[in-house]
Amino acid sequence: MGYLGKTPLSRRDFGRVAATAAGLSLVPSLILVAAPDQKSGGAEQETKPASQAPPAPSPEAQALAEIVKLRYGPRLDDAAMKEITRSLDGGLKSAAALRKVPLDNTEEPAFIFRAWRGDHA
């Protein structure tokens, strides 16, 4: 039955899920931009055996998954809950990595938004 089961999501819930997914899809690229170039990082990943199981999700991710299960439990099967828990764990790890990047209040973003105002330049 997948994520939806018998009860469809409302347009508002779908919008929230879509916005969250879009926002979370940007996190890995932000980490790659902010992280320094590491030459040995790829070599370590290649030497790991392929049969090694992924690490268990953090207790925080499991607690957040329980909240999702309480709220949307009838619509989710076991495979969906495992994927949601894995995704939450990845998001928490990405957020922790972003928090480690030192930023001052005076640092500007990589781009500056300027609204177009017709004839004004």
In a domain, 40, yes or no: no
Q: What is the mean pLDDT of the chain?
A: 76
| Count of the separate structural domains present in the chain | 1
Residue 93 belongs to domain spanning: 57-100
In a domain, 81, yes or no: yes
pLDDT confidence of residue 67: 93
Question: Contacts from 68-77 at CB under 8 Å and sequence distance 24+?
Answer: 74/5, 74/6, 74/7, 75/3, 75/4, 75/5, 75/6, 75/7, 76/3, 76/5, 77/1, 77/2, 77/5
pLDDT confidence of residue 1: 41
Cα–Cα distance, 65 to 116 (Å, whole number):
43
In a domain, 84, yes or no: yes
Closest CA to 76 of 65, 86, 89, 87: 65
In a domain, 44, yes or no: no
CA of residue 5 relative to chain centroid, distance:
24
**Average pLDDT of 18-40?**
61
